[in-house]
Amino acid sequence: MKDGGFFREAAPLAAGSALFGAALALFLTPLGVATGGASGIAVTLHVLIGTPVGAVTLLLNLPLLILLLCEEGRRGALRTAAGVIASSAAADALAPLPAATDDRLLAALLGGAMMGCGSALLLSHGFTTGGSDLAGVLWHRRHPRVRVGAAVALIDAAIVIGSAWARGDFSGVIASAAAIAAYSYALERVFGGAAHARVAWVITDRPAPLCRAITQKISRGATVLRGVGGYTGESRTAVLCVTLRTEMIRLKRIVREIDPGAFMIVTDAEEILGEGFPPPGGGKDQSSISPRTG
């Protein structure tokens, strides 16, 4: 890999992980705010028995990474593993920093927002921090009737309530909810604006393997359209695919792997009606990866 390419990958990974780790060290861990996901369990264990948050987060993600490796191979699991390792290391490296506030609700809001910004930076470059999102995706693959969004929400709710029960302090549930809301809002604002979905037009000479990879790797459909080049007059094939914003990074990677010479156009989708997307009138997409990570 060229030096410039390495820097383009390493810089956002380091910066996003630093924000993620700082949110835990400065705000969430000192006041025991569990936000769901692996980091939520890690914060709870730190409060109860003093274990390091980053190391526990990494250990909790290891079984999920192994399952992902078995399903998608080394290439598919590499970026998730990189995001998990880097963000976990940052959490422990920054742990000696003093708490930024002693107000639990303020810590929850600021910590959630900072963590959301860090996760957005990681996601925008194809990295993730694993946790309940990855667990929800793997759950859905084994039990397709269980929507990913519902699985993630169930896992996070169980972690937040379990944390409150283990510590005997249910007042912390309010702070956890505030942190999750701040996280989601920051992620949405930083990661890509209001539109939750993207439309990709891919002009390619390899439509069949591309459609197959889209179905297998991101569980989305694709439509093959036939056309004619306006300048050359030659027959061309275009693949149309609609994905969630978080899935577009993976789609771009698939296109590069299948047909490096493909011409790709990506636009925002103002409204999507149909299976796999929110119903008319709004509502959370229950087939998507939730914005909660970690």
The phi and psi torsions of 223 (rounded to 5 degrees) equal -120, 130
Q: Are residues 73 and 201 both part of a single domain?
A: no
In a domain, 162, yes or no: yes
Which CATH number covers residue 258?
3.30.70.120
Whether residue 141 has pLDDT greater than 60: yes
DSSP string, 82-129: HHHHHHHHHHHHTTTSPPS-S-HHHHHHHHHHHHHHHHHHHHTTT---
Q: Which of the residue ranges 142-156, 167-181, 252-266 would you say has the lowest mean pLDDT?
A: 142-156
Q: How far apart are CA 179 and CA 104, in angstroms?
A: 10
With b meaning 16 or more CB within 10 Å and e meaning fewer, what string describes 236-274?
A: ebbbebbbbbbbbbbbbbbbeebbeebeeeeeeeeebee
In a domain, 98, yes or no: yes
pLDDT at position 94, please?
95
In a domain, 288, yes or no: no
To the nearest whole percent, how much of the chain has pLDDT over 90? 41
Residue 183 · residue 116 · CB < 8 Å: yes
pLDDT at position 275, please?
63
pLDDT at position 59, please?
95
Helices (H), ranges, the chain: 3-23, 37-49, 53-93, 104-123, 131-142, 148-167, 172-191, 207-218, 245-258
Structure tokens at 130: 């694993």
Q: Are residues 13 and 70 both part of a single domain?
A: yes
pLDDT at position 5, please?
55
pLDDT tens, 15-25? Answer: 999 999 999 99
Q: Are residues 161 and 84 both part of a single domain?
A: yes
Q: Are residues 62 and 172 both part of a single domain?
A: yes
| Sheet architecture: strand order including 223-228 | 223-228, 235-244, 197-203, 263-269
Q: Are residues 157 and 213 both part of a single domain?
A: no
Q: Are residues 182 and 235 both part of a single domain?
A: no
Burial class (CB in 10 A: 0-12, 13-18, 19+), 291: buried
Whether residue 290 has pLDDT greater than 50: no
**What H or E segment, with its residue span, contains residue 236?**
strand 235-244
Q: How far apart are CA 56 and CA 68, in angstroms?
A: 19
Count of structural domains within the chain: 2
In a domain, 20, yes or no: yes
Q: Are residues 80 and 222 both part of a single domain?
A: no
Q: Are residues 105 and 212 both part of a single domain?
A: no
Residue 182: CA atoms inside 13 Å, Cβ hemisphere, count?
A: 23
Q: Are residues 185 and 206 both part of a single domain?
A: no
pLDDT at position 2, please?
47
Across the range 81-99, mean pLDDT stands at 94
In a domain, 71, yes or no: yes
In a domain, 186, yes or no: yes
User: Which residues, listed in sequence order, are joined to residue 265 by a DSSP beta bridge?
Assistant: 201
Q: What amino acid occupies position 160?
A: V
Q: Are residues 138 and 171 both part of a single domain?
A: yes
Q: What is the pTM of this model?
A: 0.69
In a domain, 293, yes or no: no
pLDDT tens, 104-122? Answer: 999 999 999 999 899 888 8
pLDDT at position 293, please?
47
Q: Are residues 186 and 95 both part of a single domain?
A: yes
Count CB atoms within 10 A of the CB of residue 133.
29
* Range(s) of the domain holding residue 24: 3-191
User: Which residues, listed in sequence order, are joined to residue 200 by a DSSP beta bridge?
Assistant: 241, 266
| CA of residue 212 relative to chain centroid, distance | 23
